[in-house]
Amino acid sequence: MRLRFLLVGILALAAGAAGAAGAAAQTPAPGDLHLRGDRFKPLTASELTPEQKTLVDHLLSGERGTLNGPFNVLLRSPEMGDLAQKLGAYIRFHTTVPAKLNEFAILITARALNVQYEWAAHHKNALQAGLSPAIIDAVAAGKRPPSMQPDEEIIYNFTSELVNNKQVSDSAFHAAVDKFGERTVVDLIGTIGYYHFVSMLLNVDRYPMPEGAHPELKPLR
């Protein structure tokens, strides 16, 4: 019986140590957040409030797994940042918009707001999702892609109208609903809106490109 209690105690201690180690691994050591920023000074782990630590933990343990992008800025309002990252995770990983078309909409939005970091990150994602380099190059140049698949053209028309005209024509709306359904159209609007939000955060911060990377977007005449 004494041996049994001893074994139970050893297992409990081991579980506690493992839990502590997991918590320590989840929250980076001071200075190890690798955040970037310009107007908003990059924070270190030792500076974080409990609410900021919660946001960091959710980001690093979630599907995103990184603090890149707007999150150094959003740490200044961690409660809003945590809600935003949940919306962003849905839009990135669980939306009903097919991945290639979702990335297409993000690129159109990034081009319209001239967001260098967002463009560079999602240029890579779009290629991986199967979007044609010729389409990406046309969007980068501010031109309508000359050759698109029918579903790509629907996304282009809807997104470019919304970001440039602030409205969507009946023809673009009905084409999108007929092809994808109302839920996916609402998800598409969510993608466009969320990346407007992200774009504004990055632009206000003058968010820097990663070391050695160069801006890909050229000014439009």
How do the pLDDT tens digits run along the chain, 221 residues long? 444 444 444 444 444 444 443 433 344 443 578 899 999 999 999 999 999 999 999 999 999 889 999 999 999 999 999 999 999 999 999 999 999 999 999 999 999 999 999 999 999 999 999 999 999 999 999 999 999 999 999 999 999 999 999 999 999 999 999 999 999 999 999 999 999 999 999 999 999 988 888 899 998 87
Give all domains of the chain, ordered by start, each with its CATH number: 29-94 (no CATH), 96-205 (1.20.1290.10)
Q: What angle do CA 143, 147, 150 make, to 5 degrees?
A: 110
DSSP state of 29: P
pLDDT of residue 30: 39
Sign of CA dihedral 61, 122, 38, 160: negative
CA 22, CA 187: separation in Å to the nearest integer?
A: 35
In the 3-class helix/strand/coil scheme, how is 60-73 assigned residue by residue?
A: HHCCCCCCCCCHHH
Full-model pTM: 0.84
Sign of CA dihedral 59, 60, 64, 69: positive
Sign of CA dihedral 143, 144, 149, 155: positive
Q: Residue 168: what residue type?
A: V
CA 192, CA 166: separation in Å to the nearest integer?
A: 11
CA max distance for the chain: 83
Strand, coil or helix: 4: helix
Q: What is the DSSP string of 56-122?
A: HHHHHHSSS----STHHHHTTSHHHHHHHHHHHHHHHHT-SS-HHHHHHHHHHHHHHHT-HHHHHHH
Q: What angle do CA 93, 98, 103 make, to 5 degrees?
A: 75
Place of tokens 């028309």: 157
Q: At 59, give phi and psi (nearest 5°).
A: -70, -45
DSSP state of 142: T
pLDDT of residue 6: 43
Q: Count each helix (H run) and each strand (E run) in the chain, helices first.
A: 10, 0
Q: Could you give the C-alpha distances from 12 to 1, 8, 23, 25, in angstroms and in order?
A: 17, 6, 17, 20
